[in-house]
Amino acid sequence: MTTEVGSETEVKEKAEESATQSDQSEKATEAESQEVASAEGEEKETEKEKEKEKEKEKEGKGISRYLPWLKKQKSQSQTSPTKEVTPTEEAISTVKQEEEGPAPEVNGHAEEVEEKEAAKSEQVKEKEAESHSNASADTEPAKEEKVDESPDKSAEETKETTEGEGVHEDKKEQEGEVQGEGEGGEEGQTSIFQSPLRLVRKTKMKLVVCRVTQMDGADFTCEVEKRAKGQYLFFKVCEHLNLLEKDYFGLSYIDSHEQKCWLDPTKEIKRQIRSNNWQFSFNVKFYPPDPSLLTEDITRYLLCLQLREDVASGRLPCSFVTHALLGSYTLQAEFGDHEPDQPQPLDYISQVTFAPNQNKEMEEKILELHKSHRGMTPAQADAQFLENAKKLSMYGVDLHHAKDSEGVDIMLGVCANGLLVYKDRLRINRFAWPKILKISYKRNNFYIKIRPGETEQFESTVGFKLQNHRSAKRLWKVCVENHSFFRLNAPEPPTKARFLTLGSKFRYSGRTQAQTRVASSLIDRPAPNFERTSSKRISRSLDGAPVISITDTAENGREPHLELHSDSKVEEVDLSPGDVEATSAQSPLRVHGDNIYVRHSNLMLEDHDKTQDEVLKHQASISQLKRSFMEAPPPSPPQLNQWEKRLTSSPATTIRVQQQQVTGEVEIEETVVVKEVSKATKPGLVTVTVTSSSPDGLSGDKETREQEVKVEEKVVVTVETKAVKQESISSESESEEEAEYHPNVSVSISHTQIPEEDEEEGKIEEDKTTEQDMSAPYVASHPAEIVQLAEEISRGVEESRKEDTEAAKKKIAVMEKEGVKETEESTDDPMMTSDEALNGLTPTGEAVTGLEEEEEPKVNGQASLVEPDQPRPQVICCSEPPVVKTEMVTISDTFAAQKTEIATKEVPIVHTETKTITYEAAQLDGNGDGEPGVLMTAQTITSESLCTTTTTHITKTLKGGLSETRIEKRIVITGDCDIDHDQALAQAIKEAKEQHPDMSVTRVVVHKETELAEEED
């Protein structure tokens, strides 16, 4: 009874099945006696309707998810007024049965129906009833209308299409196909997988003929609705091929730039191909590293076909000997044992392409080797072929042209293990997946962020130049998919979590290798029969007179020449009950949790060690930390790296969790100062204000990011940094210019160093990355919640903003950092100081006060004040000379008793440096930041830990009805050592950007107050 849909996949599969079933039954009906069927159908219908009504009453609302499916069924039935009803219903029942009971029954059912055994039909009815109950009320209205409703139907269908759930589409499309191909001599069940034909449907969607070139060179033609999604076609092809382990495969097409692209199963075909050329090819998309682990021979056979082609075309280079060896296995698989009495075997050999530079010598060698394979079955020969092919160094490597940072031509190879870099034929670098923290692209640049090695303190980002934006994106997608497929247990959900994210949200949507392995381990059908079509090809090339007969134990010795085309109407496959069974068994599979297949590379192990190191480090005293940081090269903030390392090395699950983890490890104290920078009196106070605003017009094209960093020290220095970037954000991910992907599911916490190229872009990227990280590390005790809160709030804001399509500005964060001690260098050279500064932060740490959780209204007040002069709040900060005494007071409040020490120390301090650095986006003005607006909302969230973060959200309405949200974040970091403003800044920016990717950082102010204490370490 309980037809519960577990996952999308399941739904899909069910849909498939049901479709199949319905086909089956329909066919049966046709084949047998239509009249009877129709009669029965009518009867049933009436009954059904009654039942439906009952059910309706029973279940107020059914499983909405089933709706589309049911609708489809219905529509299908509608297609052929007389008889359809019955079949459809049956289909449903069958499906149900599949789920609930033993598969064989299903078939039985179909047959029974055919035979019209009264008793059985009754059963069927009952089942139908059940299914209906499941189906829920929603379905009913539609069904009731059935009789007359062709128009309705079409309308519905359109709706469904728009709904865009693959499942629905599948169904529908199948119908569509039915329409197109309907008829044909069906052999009952036999045809299920092979030819999709059946009912002629009267309602029309626009149908398009798709041509899919299979790996054996044959064309498969089928009609799909114009708005069909990729997966519909893909499933169609798999069905045709009788392929269950389909996750290794995909459909590709040639785009308008002559580039081969993978058809995204989740998107409409039409939108992807962007042309009228509905021509695809069916290929291996993910080369299984160990083909022997595949479950079915047919899968291995298809993989062989792909590899033969790869080898023959030179895409998969191999030596003469290997060519010969692989060729000999091909011969054995296709032609069986070498027959010595066969005349001129070379004749047919030369018909087959084994290698790009095939010659007589090679063919002789192939023959010679072929002789040695005597007795080998085709399946064994295939397996041998694969065993050898998989060892080739370029096996499964997808190459992309690129240039390195110096403009040197290289190739980037994506494979199961990671990313390979080739110069000519030489491998010059390799980045294993575990080594990669982030993959992103921006325009025609492709970046990977690398986890630091054992000896390195910082992660680095490596950039490559692709030919153009499209190729950069294509490469990025391939990376995302390969990583997901080979390294994840389950596909990463699309990036819904992050609202208004810039760039593509593309994620791999299929099953991962781990999942597909589990799924295929449950395949329980007798080995399907399949034709080795390349032998077919050969025979054709030999004037259709196949000289050689296949001796294939596994293959029932079917004669190749009997088969004409893949799309021929003759069904070659026997669909035994077992098949159905298998299908049903397979469908409900879902993989949870555990690592089923994890490949560890050397690097990974190294990382592991490293992690331990890090842990140790962590446990080590703060001073040690400090030391290590000081040793570290200046450019990027070291602490973050360490966090990140740890994070990434542990298979973190969700971002939030990670954040928590991060938090735990952070040893920095945060104090939330709700107030303006100027007030931060304490010596060694660094305030970083990050204001981000993202004015989104309707077009939402421009993003301005401004960063202001103010550093207050005894000496107040203001530095303004402006990073302005313009980016076009298009609604469709396809056209987006950038995207990023964090292979390790981790939040990247550290500073990104972006290699040369565009400075601007680099910065932006960096910012983005940073956002989340920032928040994470700083929140100490209740981090997760706070962060969540913040996110939610901001999200809310965002949404409202979205709806209105208004521009929003967010001021993100004021960061205040307190460093009790300052290093001499710090003032002048931020970079240098940064390391130390961070260290310094640590010790003070715990002083953090209860400010944390307060989400302060008062802040709002403050915020509102700030807003009017949005762009320049920091200036104020800067100008303010630190009032030492006042600050002291504040601090003491903020910091618990623990701080007393510090306070004491600080008192004597005479020399104070205040530094304020403000970074402003150059385009700030252009964005109309200056425009006064009406304050709509203002919220402040304060979180506390080592650092204190105050976040203020301000939404106001600007002229033109646009609303603007500003998030202001203030972070106070206190430490008795030196604080690195640069790092603080970087962190603040990062954080801001990550948290609010859609917003731009308009201003960052770092206010740093340092006591030039006599007492130096």
Contact letters for another protein, residues 265-304 (x by CB under 8 A): ----------------------------------------
The secondary element (H helix, E strand) that includes residue 78 is helix 66-79
DSSP string of 418-467? Answer: EEEEEETTEEEEEEEGGGEEEEEEETTEEEEEE---TT-SS-EEEEEE-S
Sheet with 279-284: strands ordered across: 219-225, 207-213, 279-284, 249-254, 260-262
DSSP code for 496: T
| 177-215 core/surface letters (b: 16 or more CB in 10 A; e: else) | bbbbbbebebbbbbbbbbbbbbbebebebebbebebbbb
Residues 563-602 touching another protein, rule: CB under 8 A, are: 600-602
Find the shortest distance in angstroms from Cβ 361 to another protein.
10
H helical segments located in 292-354: 297-313, 320-335, 345-349
* Binds another protein by CB under 8 A, chosen from 392, 548, 672, 863: 392
Find the shortest distance in angstroms from Cβ 58 to another protein.
59
* Binds another protein by CB under 8 A, chosen from 88, 231, 417, 489: 417
741 strand-pairing partners? 439
For another protein, the closer CB: 362 or 774: 362
Contact letters for another protein, residues 314-333 (x by CB under 8 A): ---xxxxxx--x--------
Find the shortest distance in angstroms from Cβ 446 to another protein.
20
Find the shortest distance in angstroms from Cβ 513 to another protein.
16
Residues 600-629 touching another protein, rule: CB under 8 A, are: 600-603, 606
Return the residue matching tokens 């997808």. 398
Q: What are phi and psi of 748, to 5 degrees?
A: -85, 130
Find the shortest distance in angstroms from Cβ 320 to another protein.
7
Q: Please give the structure tokens belonging to residue 134.
A: 């499941």
CA distance 636 to 568: 64
Find the shortest distance in angstroms from Cβ 242 to another protein.
30
Give one word for 188, left, alpha or beta, with left for phi > 0 and alpha for psi -120 to 50.
Answer: left
DSSP string of 140-186? Answer: HHHHHHGGG-HHHHHHHHHHHHHHT-HHHHHHHHHHHHHHHH--S--
Q: What are phi and psi of 429, to 5 degrees?
A: -165, 165
Residues 838-857 touching another protein, rule: CB under 8 A, are: none
Find the shortest distance in angstroms from Cβ 182 to another protein.
49
Residues 90-129 touching another protein, rule: CB under 8 A, are: none
Residues 734-753 touching another protein, rule: CB under 8 A, are: none
Return the residue matching tokens 């990027």. 636
Q: Contact at 8 Å (CB) between 713 and 684?
A: yes
Q: Please give the structure tokens belonging to residue 127.
A: 């089942």
Find the shortest distance in angstroms from Cβ 424 to another protein.
5
The closest alpha carbon to 691, from 929, 915, 861, belongs to 929
For another protein, the closer CB: 414 or 582: 414
For another protein, the closer CB: 603 or 745: 603
For another protein, the closer CB: 320 or 697: 320
**Piece of the chain touching another protein by CB under 8 A; list 54-62, 381-389, 698-706, 913-921:** 381-389
* Binds another protein by CB under 8 A, chosen from 58, 260, 374, 391: 391
Strands 460-465 and 934-944, bridge-based pairing:
unpaired
For another protein, the closer CB: 387 or 756: 387
H helical segments located in 867-996: 873-879, 884-894, 900-906, 981-995
For another protein, the closer CB: 379 or 848: 379
DSSP code for 263: P
CA distance 28 to 115: 9
For another protein, the closer CB: 392 or 878: 392
For another protein, the closer CB: 325 or 962: 325
Find the shortest distance in angstroms from Cβ 604 to another protein.
10
Find the shortest distance in angstroms from Cβ 635 to another protein.
22
For another protein, the closer CB: 432 or 625: 432
For another protein, the closer CB: 344 or 602: 602
CA distance 642 to 666: 10
Sign for the CA dihedral angle at 741, 432, 593, 747 comes to: negative
Find the shortest distance in angstroms from Cβ 318 to another protein.
5
Residues 339-368 touching another protein, rule: CB under 8 A, are: 365, 368
Strands 445-450 and 963-973, bridge-based pairing:
unpaired
Residues 420-449 touching another protein, rule: CB under 8 A, are: 423-430, 432, 435
Find the shortest distance in angstroms from Cβ 582 to another protein.
32
Find the shortest distance in angstroms from Cβ 306 to another protein.
18
Find the shortest distance in angstroms from Cβ 369 to another protein.
7
For another protein, the closer CB: 164 or 453: 453
* Binds another protein by CB under 8 A, chosen from 108, 453, 578, 861: 453
Q: Contact at 8 Å (CB) between 942 and 894?
A: no
Find the shortest distance in angstroms from Cβ 305 to another protein.
20
Find the shortest distance in angstroms from Cβ 262 to another protein.
23
CA distance 671 to 70: 57
- In the 3-class helix/strand/coil scheme, how is 96-109 assigned residue by residue? HHHHHCCHHHHHHH
For another protein, the closer CB: 309 or 806: 309
Find the shortest distance in angstroms from Cβ 317 to another protein.
4
Q: Please give the structure tokens belonging to residue 983.
A: 């790092």
How many residues line the site for another protein (CB under 8 A)? 35
For another protein, the closer CB: 231 or 417: 417
For another protein, the closer CB: 416 or 580: 416
Q: How many CA atoms lie within 13 A of 815 on its CB side?
A: 43
Q: How many CA atoms lie within 13 A of 612 on its CB side?
A: 5
For another protein, the closer CB: 368 or 701: 368
The closest alpha carbon to 235, from 284, 160, 174, belongs to 174
Residues 239-258 touching another protein, rule: CB under 8 A, are: none
For another protein, the closer CB: 391 or 858: 391
Centre a 10 Å sphere on the Cβ of residue 259 and count the other Cβ atoms it contains. Answer: 14
For another protein, the closer CB: 602 or 731: 602
Q: Contact at 8 Å (CB) between 722 and 948?
A: no
Find the shortest distance in angstroms from Cβ 527 to another protein.
25
Q: Does 369 bind another protein (CB under 8 A)?
A: yes
For another protein, the closer CB: 77 or 330: 330
Q: What are phi and psi of 942, to 5 degrees?
A: -120, 130
Q: Contact at 8 Å (CB) between 306 and 215?
A: yes
Q: Contact at 8 Å (CB) between 528 and 495?
A: no
Contact residues: another protein, CB under 8 A: 317-322, 325, 365, 368-369, 372, 384, 387-388, 391-394, 417, 423-430, 432, 435, 453, 600-603, 606
